[in-house]
């Protein structure tokens, strides 16, 4: 699943944080355990401040945690304050309905990292439950903050050394093609009740409608009073499940593949819509509609699924945008001050 480090930990935690959940805000919230209790300075001797760039670099594993932050994290004051800080400060900022999903993702991350000693894994996992979540998160935070957070890029291997790998990939591709079913994976109908994995993108849709109306919030229960939004909402959920049908159906047909072509589909979709997403809009609903229109036009040729007849259409590409919101790759539809 990946490497256990501050970046991977923070990305998972970010999904559970209430609005606005920018990388900077989440980094400030987590690092507040240290900066609120210790006098930490930067290289110029000024108070340590989390900037947008620093947060982005940490989240994307481009840099290691600052040395002074690491050093301060080992002080008795920080260690003794950690459980209370996470219980009193971090947990109130989380959406209760997302906590179980967050725990599951963190457990998978811990379990899949072979660099973490088994006794350390066991130490973390015994607290991986909702009743002791503040202990789980704080202990894990104090561990990941000291780990290497920088993923180095390896030099490319000579072409001749890649040939066996290329031939192997061609063989795998042929095997995949032979498995292609005659029709699209069975469509998943949106369930009547909103499921846990939908909470993030659904919250952002409701925020977009509220923004268009000039009101603070629009609960799902109030959608029936706004027929045009209720119709739009149902259509967006249908798109989301169209993409989910591809994600789940592809794994049923092909199993786990390397590379994961659904991840490639997400990357191509993001690259195709991000410029439109970052345009100026009068409200969040306008941004949503602008991005969805763009999504229907983009090509996703690098993804093998796009080469299979009737697999990737407009609805699936729009649904991938909602998955990008779920993943935190898109911050939502309403512009914030962050």
Q: Which of 144, 163, 188 is the last residue of a domain?
A: 144
The span from the CA of 334 to the CA of 338, in Å, is 11
Same-domain check for residues 298 and 185 = yes
Is 334 within the bounds of a domain?
no
CA 300 from chain centre, in angstroms, equals 21
The DSSP line for 263-298 is HHHHHHHHHHHHHHHTS--SSHHHHHHHHHHHHHH-
Is 317 within the bounds of a domain?
yes
Domain count, the chain: 2
Is 155 within the bounds of a domain?
no
End-to-end CA distance of the chain: 29
Same-domain check for residues 60 and 179 = no
Same-domain check for residues 15 and 134 = yes
CA dihedral 78, 79, 84, 89 (to 10 degrees): 50
Count CB atoms within 10 A of the CB of residue 283. Answer: 17
The span from the CA of 272 to the CA of 294, in Å, is 8
Q: Which of 144, 167, 187 is the last residue of a domain?
A: 144
Q: Which of 127, 144, 161 is the last residue of a domain?
A: 144
> Residue 284's pLDDT is what?
96
The span from the CA of 97 to the CA of 187, in Å, is 26
> Residue 337's pLDDT is what?
64
Q: What is the pLDDT along the chain (338 residues), one digit of tens a residue?
A: 578 999 999 999 999 998 767 899 999 999 999 988 888 877 677 888 889 999 999 999 999 998 889 998 999 999 999 999 999 999 999 999 999 999 989 998 998 888 899 889 989 999 988 889 999 999 999 999 999 998 765 544 454 544 555 556 666 656 655 555 545 678 889 999 999 999 999 999 999 999 999 999 999 999 999 999 999 999 999 999 999 999 888 877 766 666 788 999 999 999 999 999 999 999 999 999 999 999 999 999 898 888 887 889 999 999 999 999 999 999 999 987 65
CA 231 from chain centre, in angstroms, equals 27
> Residue 182's pLDDT is what?
46
> Residue 296's pLDDT is what?
93
Same-domain check for residues 124 and 208 = no
Consecutive H or E run containing 234: helix 227-254
Same-domain check for residues 321 and 196 = yes
Same-domain check for residues 186 and 313 = yes
Look at residue 245 and give its three-state secondary structure.
Answer: helix
Domain span holding position 132: 6-144
Same-domain check for residues 138 and 210 = no
Same-domain check for residues 137 and 200 = no
By the 10 Å C-beta count (0-12 exposed, 13-18 middle, 19+ buried), 252 is classed as exposed
Same-domain check for residues 243 and 323 = yes
Is 26 within the bounds of a domain?
yes
Same-domain check for residues 139 and 283 = no
Is 297 within the bounds of a domain?
yes
Consecutive H or E run containing 223: none
Q: For the whole model, what pTM was predicted?
A: 0.49
Same-domain check for residues 18 and 70 = yes
CA dihedral 264, 4, 145, 55 (to 10 degrees): 10
Same-domain check for residues 251 and 128 = no
Interacting residues of 303 by C-beta distance below 8 A, sequence separation 6+: 261, 262, 264, 265, 268, 312
Tell me phi and psi for residue 41, to 5 degrees.
-120, 160
């Amino acid at each position: 699943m990946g490497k256990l480090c501050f970046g991977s930990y923070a990305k998972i935690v970010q999904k559970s944080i209430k609005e606005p959940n920018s990388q900077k805000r989440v980094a400030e919230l987590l690092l507040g355990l240290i900066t609120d209790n210790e006098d930490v300075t930067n290289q110029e001797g000024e108070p340590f401040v989390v900037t947008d760039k620093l947060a982005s670099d940490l989240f994307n594993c481009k840099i290691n945690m600052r040395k002074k932050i690491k050093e301060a994290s080992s002080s008795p004051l920080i260690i003794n304050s950690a459980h209370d800080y996470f219980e009193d400060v971090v947990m109130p900022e989380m959406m209760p309905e997302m906590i179980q999903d967050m725990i599951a993702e963190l457990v998978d991350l811990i379990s899949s990292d072979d660099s973490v000693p088994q006794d350390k894994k066991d130490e973390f996992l015994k607290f991986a439950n909702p009743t002791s979540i503040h202990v789980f998160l704080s202990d894990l935070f104090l561990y990941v903050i000291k780990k290497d957070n920088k993923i180095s890029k390896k030099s490319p291997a000579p072409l001749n050394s890649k040939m066996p790998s290329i031939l192997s990939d061609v063989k795998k591709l042929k095997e995949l093609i032979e498995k292609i079913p005659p029709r699209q994976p069975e469509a998943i109908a949106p369930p009547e009740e909103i499921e846990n994995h939908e909470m993030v993108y659904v919250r952002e849709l409701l925020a977009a409608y509220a923004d268009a109306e000039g009101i603070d919030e629009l609960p799902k229960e109030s959608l029936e009073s706004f027929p045009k939004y209720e119709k739009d909402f149902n259509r967006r959920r249908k798109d989301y499940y169209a993409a989910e049908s591809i994600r789940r159906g592809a794994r049923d047909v092909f199993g786990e593949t390397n590379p994961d072509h659904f991840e490639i589909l997400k990357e191509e979709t993001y690259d195709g819509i991000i410029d439109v997403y970052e345009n100026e809009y009068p409200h969040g609903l306008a941004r949503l509609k602008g991005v969805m229109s763009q999504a229907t036009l983009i090509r996703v040729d690098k993804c093998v699924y796009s080469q299979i007849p009737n697999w990737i259409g407009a609805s699936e590409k729009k649904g991938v945008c909602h998955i990008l919101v779920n993943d935190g790759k898109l911050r939502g539809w309403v512009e914030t001050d962050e």
